[in-house]
Amino acid sequence: MEIANENEKIEFELRLQAIYQKYGYDFRNYARASLKRRIRYRLSQSNFKTISEMQHKLLNDSKFFATLLSDLTINVTEMFRDPSFFKALREIVIPELKKQPFIKVWHAGCSSGEEVYSTAILLKEEGLHNTSLIYATDTDDVVLNKAKSGIFAIDRMKDYTLNYRKAGGLASFADYYTALYDNVIMDNSLKKNIVFSNHNLVTDGVFGEMDMILCRNVFIYFNRDLQDRVFRLFSESLRPGGFLCLGTKETIRSSSFSDDFENVADHERIYGKIA
């Protein structure tokens, strides 16, 4: 379906407003191209011809909304995604974190948790796991529950093992999970210092004073105003000297909060909050 004429554009904006008023999820400042692609996909899968036809079901069927929410929130991730990023964490950031008696890490937009467990493994190998707490947040309870379970498809382990090695892993990656038929379950010791929680970057406030915030490949779906709103949230949530980690295609340099941060590993999009 093509959302082209003015009436269809109005319908599209009204649906975003309806989602916000009915369910409290605010997609009004998300990049339009990405939202339109995902709404078109749900229309085609549900046999609706127009967005207006979808309105009644959207507002009166919470299960349908949960399905649409999964479409609208981006849940693409993997263990040790972008291995050079995790290697930079190990070599540049971890030595600074070791100077703190206790560290708090926030994975914002954690999706199904693969990168959260990657961070937990990294902290464990660097001797920081027992003196750290990881907050893993997302707006989608479905993916949060998957993250809490720590269960992932076994056929991804070959790629994840390669990522782990490229990221400078110090052990055998297989030591961190147990095979269970077609899945693996992550070791319980990794979970004990992880707190999973629903948090909406668009509408919720400061999460706490953090030593490191990771929010990777989320900003690419936000418009400029929403990016600035979330950068403010992160700036206020980081202690002076703390670290902000973004995706490889994201930067704080085009935001209103650029002067709050210095480059730590520019290519890996790791920034330090200026004291």
Q: Are residues 15 and 52 in the same domain?
A: yes
Q: Are residues 172 and 115 in the same domain?
A: yes
* Cβ proximity of 105 and 126 under 8 Å: no
Give me the domain span that covers residue 260.
Answer: 83-273
Predicted TM-score (pTM) of the model is 0.81
Q: 40: pLDDT confidence band, cut at 50, 70 and 90?
A: confident
- Total number of domains in the chain: 2
Share above pLDDT 90 across residues of the chain, in percent, rounded to a whole number: 61
Mean pLDDT for 78-89 is 96
Least reliable range by pLDDT among 27-31, 63-67, 228-232: 27-31
Is 78 within the bounds of a domain?
Answer: no
* Cβ proximity of 51 and 43 under 8 Å: yes
**How confident is the prediction for the chain on average, in pLDDT?**
89
Q: Are residues 215 and 88 in the same domain?
A: yes
219: left (phi over 0), alpha (psi -120 to 50) or beta: alpha
The single-letter code of the amino acid at 143 is V
Collapse the DSSP code of 48 into the 3-class scheme (helix H, G, I; strand E, B; otherwise coil) and give the result: coil
Cα separation, 33 vs 168, in Å, equals 37
Is 148 within the bounds of a domain?
Answer: yes
pLDDT (tens digit per residue) in 234-266: 999 999 999 999 998 899 998 999 999 999 999
Is 1 within the bounds of a domain?
Answer: no
Q: 1: pLDDT confidence band, cut at 50, 70 and 90?
A: very low
Say which residue the tokens 């409290």 belong to.
Answer: 24
Q: Are residues 166 and 265 in the same domain?
A: yes
CATH number of the domain enclosing 139:
3.40.50.150
Least reliable range by pLDDT among 9-13, 89-93, 130-134, 205-209: 9-13
Mean pLDDT for 218-234 is 89
Q: Are residues 103 and 48 in the same domain?
A: no
* Cβ proximity of 206 and 238 under 8 Å: no
pLDDT (tens digit per residue) in 154-184: 999 999 999 999 999 999 999 999 998 999 9
Of residues 61 and 256, the one with the higher pLDDT is 256
Looking at residue 3, what is its pLDDT?
A: 45
Of residues 7 and 13, the one with the higher pLDDT is 13
Q: Are residues 39 and 153 in the same domain?
A: no
